[in-house]
């Protein structure tokens, strides 16, 4: 399993671009240092996962066989699916272009400056609000080290 590295704070600049630290991008398997099309997956409120656009397009093509179902339920399911994935641009300098549909999911509006937390995973990035990060850290108590750590033997 690939080694996970801690995330970092990142700011949205006055041109509506999230400045992702390059050392985080280097931990993503598909990052080559070139501008690329990516897709923002709106997951939990306050959390967006960034995937390579071609990978998401491949995964969504698998679900197209359901497009022949013309029921209202199937239509609504497809509408939610389409709304969940938003195409963005990730530039070679590590700036991620935000859009007016993605920003409110992360707690701010286009044109506002914001500070977010970015964490890489092998196939993409997680971008989250500080509130989401704090809730995630507070909720995952099984990973907290015990107070009575044994000192290493030197």
Residue ranges of domains in the chain? 8-140
Q: List, in sequence order, every residue forming a beta bridge with 76; answer none if it has no partner.
A: none
CA nearest to 114, candidates 8, 6, 7, 9 = 9
**Regarding the domain with residue range 8-140, which homologous superfamily does it belong to in the CATH classification?**
Transcriptional regulator MraZ domain (3.40.1550.20)
pLDDT of the residue at 15: 93
82-125 tens-digit pLDDT: 888 999 999 999 999 999 999 999 999 999 999 999 999 989 99
Question: What is the C-alpha separation between 69 and 93, in angstroms, rounded?
Answer: 43
Q: What is the mean pLDDT of residues 25-31?
A: 94
pLDDT of the residue at 67: 58
Other C-beta atoms closer than 10 Å to the C-beta of 89 total 15
- Whether 2 has a pLDDT exceeding 90, the answer reads no
Gap between the terminal Cα atoms of the chain? 30
DSSP for the chain, please give it. -PPP---EEEEB-TTSEEE--HHHHTTSTT--SS-EEEEEEE-STTEEEEEEHHHHHHHHHHGGGGGG--SHHHHHHHHHHHHHEEEEEE-TTSEEE--TTTGGGGT--TTS--EEEEEEETTEEEEE-HHHHHHHHHH-GGGSPPSSPPPPP-
Q: List, in sequence order, every residue forming a beta bridge with 8; answer none if it has no partner.
A: 118
Question: What is the C-alpha separation between 2 and 4, in angstroms, rounded?
Answer: 6
117-141 tens-digit pLDDT: 999 998 999 999 999 999 998 886 7
Whole-number Cα distances in Å, 80 to 38, 77, 83, 86, 149: 19, 5, 5, 12, 48
Whole-model pTM over 0.95: no
- Whether 62 has a pLDDT exceeding 90, the answer reads no
């Amino acid at each position: 399993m690939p080694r996970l590295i801690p995330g970092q704070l990142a700011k949205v600049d006055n041109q509506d671009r999230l400045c992702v630290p390059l050392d985080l991008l280097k931990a993503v398997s598909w990052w080559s240092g070139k501008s690329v099309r990516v897709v923002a997956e709106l997951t939990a409120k306050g959390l967006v996962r960034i995937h390579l656009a071609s990978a998401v397009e491949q995964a969504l093509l698998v679900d197209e066989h359901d497009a022949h179902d013309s029921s209202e339920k199937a239509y609504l399911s497809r509408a939610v699916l389409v709304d969940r994935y938003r195409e963005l641009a990730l530039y070679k300098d590590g700036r991620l272009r935000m859009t007016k549909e993605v920003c409110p999911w992360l707690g701010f509006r286009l044109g506002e400056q914001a500070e977010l937390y970015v964490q890489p995973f092998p196939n993409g990035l997680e971008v989250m609000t500080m509130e989401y990060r704090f809730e995630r850290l507070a909720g995952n108590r099984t990973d907290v080290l015990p107070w009575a750590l044994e000192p290493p033997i030197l």
